[in-house]
Chains A and B, each alone.
Chain A
Amino acid sequence: MSDAANTPGAAKAAPGPIIAAGLLFAVGALLFTQALTLAADRGYAPSGPALAPVIVTGLWVLVSLAYLAESIKARGAAAEGGGSWRTPLLLLAALIVYALVLKYTVTGYVLATAAFILATARLLSTRPVREVIVRDLLVAAGLSVGVYLVFTRLLGIVLPAGVLPL
């Protein structure tokens, strides 16, 4: 525990939990006021719909304060594993694009999924493209076609067919 303070970068990483706690508190406070608005409207009757929201969001505010206190006390003691933000952000973008393409374009499940698999496998891989591209292409084609056929033909779940004549 104590040697974490000596790790380079620990000082920079330390505010993480404090920021998280602050955000949690802010969101909690916002939700709490919403619950209070509801309660002003519907009353606090224990059998009514407003009591539980007030209790839960109130608990949220209190617990986030306790977490804030804990984070401040543990400041500099907890080393965070570092890690980069670039890959998760790109991955999230890929996911969102994938979902939107699936829903709002005529690309269809097979093509969208194959493209998503290729992109994601590349993002998560630490090896050069040359070494893995054949394997990735095979998996992308096999998995997307296989999933599409199993789900639509065998299980009767509707997936967008798109431009491919499947």
Chain B
Amino acid sequence: MSSLSSLLDGFASVLSPQNLLYAAIGVTIGTLVGVLPGIGPALTIALLLPVSLQLDDPTGTLIMFAGIYYGAMYGGSTTSILLNTPGESASVATSIEGYRMAQRGRARAALATAAIGSFVAATISTVLLAFVAEPMASFAVTFRASDYFALAVLAMVTVTALVGASLPRGLMSLTFGLFLGLVGIDSLTGQARFTFGVPELLDGVDVVTVIVGLFAIGETLYIASRLKDLPAKVAPLEPAKGGFAWLSRQDWARSWPAWLRGTLFGFPFGALPSGGAEIPTFLSYTVEKRRSKHRDEWGNGAIEGVAGPEAANNASFSGVLVPLLTLGIPTSATAAVMLAAFGYFDLSPGPQLFEKSPDLVWALIASLFVGNVMLLALNLPLIRIWVKVLQIPRPLLYTGILVFATLGVYAVSGSVVDVLIAYAIGVLAMFMRRFDFPIAPVILGLILGPMMETQFRRALLLSDGALSVFVTRPLTVTLLSLAVVALALPHLPKVWARLRGGSGARRLSFAEDD
């Protein structure tokens, strides 16, 4: 029951005018960047970090960031349904059937099942989060350095193996991120590493610089290389039929089981270090397609194909928060930026967070409920505004992204060298997009790498340098074995297909997280 009373305290804190305002700002910005192509929640949070540091209100800021994360998911579904260009990759599954529905004049039903499904899934999964988080945190208190090391290994391996088209490319991205994490002065010995005589590099490469380079600069340069291919056909929104009759009785009947199943996929996959929402959304899509009684509609706009993946998408976010808050382990790029945001406020997510800052944690969790109510209101009645946003001319949109990207790096560092580093990383990111390298592993490597090294060396210091510490603790061994299984898992379908004599089976792989 203690979780319940803590949650009620959280609600009391969230319902203060100031925190409500933060939540409202967060979900609005989130929806905006979710709708806009080329800018996602990770980049937005990175750009807002310098601003939020000025505000000096950790609880409010984190409520706003959570709102951005959630809002981007709602907004992303709008873009994928109306434009067939998913604003973020977790909406790819939604766009398959959603865009078809819009083309057949059922855009409103698709948007409604996405928004209401998101709301249902988010609410259920936040309840789960509220009740899983505290037991998880008290279990995590027993974790030692070697366990954290193993956990970081597991997180990195699963993210990389399951993201992107090929293992070498996923690993290359990860290695690049790990390398970026090494740059700077070693925290334990003061040894400078890979600084190439540049004094600005002694402090390491800031996560904001990397994210701005990877997402804003890289994406814009890539878009610039293929301007002629830009799609810009917004499916028209059919006129309202009067009242709030977005969904017919039959739509409801077909949607709600898909919402619930989607939630069941989304939450655990978000909580596992498996790279965010792509896997559960595609799993949900596949399951709904297989179970559907309306097989003939698939490919022409089946409502279950929108309802399930969208629910999975939003449920996964509450799942992502479980390891982020209780262990300090990010499982998606956006979670990694949020972890960095905690760091800027001198807060370290992990089991101690629940003991040291319970107010913040529970206000954050309660804000998710409130934010979702706001998002439902923001996305259905106000849908016309977001359709207008979709019509922003692309040249101005990308120009604006570059202006804010430069401003974000300059504001946080005050140094033109950091801006140039961001540009350099942007050039690399352009080539990464061109040659189909996943982006998310770079950020996870950058965040998890130093964490891994520190815990590894701390574990060895505690054991007087005996490496056996990594094979004698059952928890460490379990986590490390899981990492090995995760490395092998994506190749199983291929092996299975080969055993059955078939060929051309696709590996379990999905687009990257944003």
Contact = CB atoms under 8 A, between A and B. Distances in A.
A158 B411 CA distance: 8
A151 B168 CA distance: 43
A11 B226 CA distance: 19
B407 to A, nearest CB: 7
A102 interface: yes
Nearest to B221: A88
Contacts of A139: 396, 399
Interface in A96-127: 96, 98-100, 102-104, 113, 116-117, 120-126
A95 B171 contact: no
Determine which residue in B167, B172, B394, B465 has the highest number of CB atoms from chain A within 10 A of its CB, and name it.
B172
Contacts of B460: 46-47
Interface stretch (B136-144, B182-190, B255-263, B366-374): B182-190
A78 B182 CA distance: 33
Contacts of B456: 46, 52
A144 B403 CA distance: 9
A48 B169 CA distance: 29
Contacts of B54: 155-157
Nearest to B169: A67
B168 A56 contact: no
Interface residues of B, number: 65
A161 interface: no
Interface stretch (B82-90, B122-130, B266-274, B429-437): B429-437
A143 B403 contact: yes
Interface stretch (B236-244, B350-358, B419-427): B419-427
B449 interface: yes
Given A42-B191, A125-B395, A56 B171 contact: no
B51 interface: yes
A84 B224 CA distance: 8
Given A69-B168, A143-B400, 7 more contacts: A49-B186, A49-B189, A52-B453, A102-B416, A116-B402, A124-B224, A135-B396
10 contacts: A16-B434, A46-B456, A49-B188, A56-B449, A80-B434, A83-B226, A87-B224, A125-B393, A132-B395, A147-B404
